[in-house]
Amino acid sequence: MEKTLILIKPDGVKRGLVGEILQRFERRDVGITNLRLLTPTIEMIKEHYKEHVGKIFYQELLDYIMEGPIVAFVIEGNNVIKMARTMIGDKDPIKATPGTIRGDYGNSIRRNIIHASDGEASAEREMKIWFN
Q: 3-class DSSP state for residue 7?
A: strand
Integer Cα distance of 110 and 99 in angstroms: 20
Indicate which residue of 10, 83, 115, 123 is catalytic: 115
DSSP code string of 29-42: T-EEEEEEEE---H
48 is catalytic: no
Phi, psi of 7 (to 5 degrees): -120, 125
Please, what's the b/e burial string for 58-71 (b: 16 or more CB within 10 A of its CB; e: otherwise)? eeeeeebbeeebbb
Report CA 45 to chain centroid distance, whole Å. 12
Catalytic residues: 115
